[in-house]
Amino acid sequence: MRFIDIAFMTPPDNFGEMVARAEADGEDNIGNHSDVWRCCKESLKQASFDKCFYCEMKDIRSDGTVDHYRPKSKYKWSAFRINNFRFACTFCNSRRTDRKTGEVGGKGAGFPLFDGCQRATCPGEICNELPLLLDPCNAADPDALDYRTDGAAVPASDGDANPQRVRAVTSIEAYHLNHSELQEARRRAAIEIGENQ
């Protein structure tokens, strides 16, 4: 996972109008306005060089999707906020089973918090929230992950009580970062890099 700065991402010209219309339609109709986040997909892809924000892989099997880091089902007030959008591959974004290992992964609508933490109910409360999922758009989060030469994603820190380690372990599972095909692709990339040094 690498830091991706979307602060300077330019939304489409009519983005503000689209958001205003969607918000005026009410929280119960969020799903009727998927065009709001879909119109940002190309800009998000460009910000990550066409790679999934979470696993950093180009998905040649699909054209990816726009994920809501804070799921729109739990954070209705954040459904149309561009700073909540992440470009994601199908395996990181949706619940899937790895056919080779039988392990299930993918973020889905999950957004776990540390025990005792209150879920934010508005943008002003985000700073009080302690998510268990790493965010590639938070500069401090990508350093919590490391990768072994066999391609496995692992926590970068030791100590079971270390909060960043806990977040890394949770994120590896939630984003399906050790899916067998993804792990094999990383292993091959490590070999190729080693051969070119």
Q: Residue 90: what are its φ and ψ, rounded to 5°?
A: -60, -40
Looking at this protein, which amino acid is placed at residue 40?
A: C
Evaluate whether residue 26 is within a structural domain: yes
Q: How many domains does the chain have?
A: 1
Cα–Cα dist 2/169, whole Å: 17
Q: What pLDDT digit, counting tens, does each position of 59-84 carry?
A: 766 678 999 999 999 999 999 999 99
The answer to pTM > 0.85 is yes
Antiparallel, parallel or unpaired: β 85-88 and 65-68 = antiparallel
Q: What is the mean pLDDT of residues 21-32?
A: 95
Position 10 scores a pLDDT of: 85
Evaluate whether residue 5 is within a structural domain: no
Residue 186, pLDDT above cutoff 90: no
Cα–Cα dist 162/146, whole Å: 15
Cα–Cα dist 127/47, whole Å: 24
Evaluate whether residue 2 is within a structural domain: no
Position 61 scores a pLDDT of: 60
Residue 27 lies in domain = 15-195
Cα-based distances in Å from 73 to 81, 115, 142: 14, 20, 25
Evaluate whether residue 85 is within a structural domain: yes
Position 126 scores a pLDDT of: 94
Beta bridge partners of 131: 113
Cα–Cα dist 49/43, whole Å: 10
Evaluate whether residue 8 is within a structural domain: no
Evaluate whether residue 40 is within a structural domain: yes
Evaluate whether residue 4 is within a structural domain: no
Q: What pLDDT digit, counting tens, does each position of 83-131 carry?
A: 999 999 988 998 888 788 888 888 989 999 999 999 999 999 999 999 9
Position 146 scores a pLDDT of: 94
Residue 48, pLDDT above cutoff 80: yes
Residue 188, pLDDT above cutoff 80: yes
Cα–Cα dist 113/23, whole Å: 26
Evaluate whether residue 125 is within a structural domain: yes
Position 16 scores a pLDDT of: 93
Sequence-distant (6+) residues with CB within 8 A of 145 are 1, 134, 153, 154, 155, 156, 168, 171, 172, 177
Q: What pLDDT digit, counting tens, does each position of 129-185 carry?
A: 999 999 999 999 999 999 998 999 999 988 878 899 999 999 999 999 998 888 888
